A and B are shown apart, each in its own frame.
Chain A
Amino acid sequence: MKRRIGSQIMASILVNSIYAMINYPVVLINTLLAPLAILAVVTFASKGALLPVAAVGALIMSMVSSGTSLQQDLSHLKNDMRLQDMIVSSPTTSLIYIIGMALSEIVYSIPTLAFLIVLNLIFVKTTITGGFIIFMDMATIFTFSISLGFFLSTFTSDIIQSWGFSGILSPLLTTIPPVYYPITYIPFPYRYLAYLSPTTYASVIAQSQTGFYDPGAEGFVVSWIVLLAVTAILTYLALKRSRWREI
């Protein structure tokens, strides 16, 4: 028979987002709450000064959340439903499964993304090139978090463990690092710690395009190199070292 890769990808999107959204419409706002809450706090606390930073930050958080919720969804489908066993033993490869599931997380957060993008268009001032750079930045951090989520999910054996992973990752990657505020707000030597998180580099790149932080040409390039390298390593791990077949 002729196998359609498009169908294989669509199956993941239907099952993990579209059917779920139709069934529980409340999930439509599910992904909006966390970024919006921090955005509000930062905006009020800074008397509005940091709204543009936080608006971009909320987008970064939303990208990272796609990865952590992917990790939870996949762990649930794998451990509670045994769906992953059925997929592993079918013509769907791990790459096709990741792509489909990653897209399903995007579809799932369309309402949130739409809201945040409008917010950014209104409050964030940048050039066309800047807009393009921010888009590439988001796409990269999305790839990073999706790969991380997939990689971790293949190692979980129950859902509680998977909650543990997301409970740790979410604050470490989005709340604590300078995602919602400029990195210059962190005094030395603590600022070095911030560089442990890949989201810091994504945030430096975004903030450089909105005029809130100037890393210099060198800092800009280095941020890209680190972000791309970390993303490449995780994508490699997700595709080659995840536990698709059990040992």
Chain B
Amino acid sequence: MRIRTTGLSKTYDRKNKALEDLSIDLNMNGIFSIIGRNGAGKTTFVRILSTELLPTSGKGYINDADVVEQAESVRREIAVVPQEARPLPWLTPLQTVSSYLMWRGYSYREANEKGKEALRELGLEGKEGEKSRKLSGGQKRKLMVATVISSEAPVVFLDEPTTGLDYLSRKELWQLLSKMKRDRLIILTTHYLEEAEILGDQIMILDKGKLVDIGGIEDLRSKVKLPYVLKVYSENFKISEDEVQVHPVSEKETFVYGSAAKIYGLVPYLVTNKMKFTVEEASLTSIFEQYLGNEEEEKENEEKNW
């Protein structure tokens, strides 16, 4: 599956730039994860590529079909769960899935069979006949995801499907997605960075409507200055900030970010002094922070001063 944009831009109400000159080209199957803070432009990107919203300028293509000029053929290839979509409360889970499939053109019988299969997959079997309004928040989200994933669409857009879910529900959704991603492209936006790290075969970082970077987690990690983290568990550990970043977590715990050479250079000292430590690759959270600087902290400080 291929997703491509050239100079894609969206300005709302002539002043609010939600996307600016975005050009990407991915030819992949699996999960394409889009991360960025609230307002970064994730939903705008999804809505344009899924033919729900017109761009202000630039082009978008799904499998080489233009999302504006050839919307009808794009629409046969895609399925979308919008950010705030919920199951209709008067439908049962089975009716929710099967009516969506019928809207895509499946016969009543096919839609019901596929619907039952999807609910089995979800572990909602016993609830087939209950009204959706009785489902928990997590079950509602999973139901929406299952609804589009049970369709034939090879390209699926999921806009923040896990926001607000508890950790266990999120993990269940992750399992569902990992299972369903074969042979299709799932475009998944999230602001949980660990989620993008676990699921994302490709990751795009957006900030204020601009492309910050795009690539696999390894690519992104290889581009930041501090790709390794040393975690030291000792009260006596002291180090000067020389080509490394030091984050004291607690009295007994210090995180040091740095290059491989720098971090591994510290190991002999730790071993000699019998300090407990681990060396890990920097998580997406730390990569994200390095990409976007410490704006978050600055903002917090500003707010405190205010």
- Residue ranges of A at the interface with B (Cβ–Cβ < 8 Å): 1-5, 7-8, 10-12, 14-15, 19-20, 23-24, 77, 81-83, 85-93, 245-247
Contact = CB atoms under 8 A, between A and B. Distances in A.
B145 to A, nearest CB: 12
Contact of B79 (A5, A8, A19, A90): A90
A88 B48 CA distance: 12
Interface stretch (B101-109, B212-220, B249-257): B101-109
Contacts of B152: 1
Given A4-B106, A7-B107, A88 B99 contact: no
B82 interface: yes
B28 interface: no
B250 to A, nearest CB: 44
Interface string B42-54: 0000010011111
Contacts of A82: 82-86
Nearest to B100: A86
Nearest to A88: B52
Sorted nearest first, the 6 A-B pairs with minimum C-beta distance are A3-B105, A11-B102, A82-B85, A82-B82, A23-B90, A85-B82
Contacts of A4: 105-107
A89 B105 contact: no
A15 B91 contact: yes
B109 to A, nearest CB: 10
Given A82-B84, A86-B81, A86-B82, A10 B54 contact: no
Contact of A88 (B51, B86, B88, B157): B51
B72 interface: yes
B244 interface: no
A80 to B, nearest CB: 8
Contact of A245 (B71, B81, B107, B148): B71
B52 A92 contact: no
11 contacts: A2-B105, A8-B105, A11-B103, A15-B99, A20-B90, A82-B86, A89-B52, A90-B79, A91-B76, A92-B104, A246-B53
B95 interface: yes
Contacts of B105: 1-5, 7-8, 91-92
B12 to A, nearest CB: 10
A91 B90 contact: no
B225 interface: no
